[in-house]
Amino acid sequence: MRTTTVKLYSLEYNQLRTYLAVTLFVAGNIILPQLCHLVPQGGIRWLPIYFFTLVGAYKYGWKVGLLTALVSPLVNSALFGMPAVAVLPAVLLKSVLLAVAAGYAATRFRRASLVLLVGVVLFYQIVGTLGEWMLEGSFYVALQDFRIGLPGMLIQVLGGWLFINHIIRK
């Protein structure tokens, strides 16, 4: 088995590259959900709003991830009404948890493996589900991502790994 080194970055708020990266990842988090929403239940099944937050935070650091996590759902909600304002707090909570977890894992382990990405996705989903349960007051509603969104979680792990390790070279 061959080991390859992946370049992971930690961009700062005072760098232009940070805002360029955030702009690209937010654009991805706008386009991908629109494509997924063409299919019935595409948003809740494929969880597309989290994909580029994961990639951005892991590849370019938690600061890029955090900005992407906050801006993407707000812009999508303002422009397209999805996520709906009622579920925006839960989506923002999960997005922020994802950005922090991905940024931490990248900094701590300095590599992007499938096992690490599974851990990141499970962390934000489990902790986010508990937070959503507190926000919504319904455990059944909070479990929606686990009941319906497993394909999206798998795409986040596999697609995220491909993007981080092979598609984004720099």
pLDDT at 2 over 60: no
Model pLDDT for residues 121-140, shown as the tens digit of each residue: 999 999 999 999 999 999 99
Q: pTM of this prediction?
A: 0.95
Q: What percent of the chain has pLDDT over 90?
A: 94
Distance in angstroms (rounded) separating the CA atoms of residues 20 and 37:
26
Q: Are 72 and 32 in contact (CB under 8 A)?
A: no
Distance in angstroms (rounded) separating the CA atoms of residues 31 and 35:
6
Model pLDDT for residues 51-102, shown as the tens digit of each residue: 999 999 999 999 999 999 999 999 999 999 999 999 999 999 999 999 999 9
pLDDT at 170: 65
Of 72, 73, 107, 69, the closest CA to residue 87 belongs to 73
Model pLDDT for residues 24-40, shown as the tens digit of each residue: 999 999 999 999 999 99
Please, which residues have CB within 8 angstroms of residue 90's CB and are 6 or more apart in sequence? 128, 131, 132, 135, 136, 142
pLDDT at 166 over 70: yes
Please, which residues have CB within 8 angstroms of residue 141's CB and are 6 or more apart in sequence? 132, 133
pLDDT at 11: 96
Reported as a pLDDT band with limits 50, 70 and 90, residue 168 is confident
φ/ψ bin of 61: left (φ > 0), alpha (ψ from -120 to 50), beta (otherwise) = left
Of 49, 23, 45, the closest CA to residue 34 belongs to 49
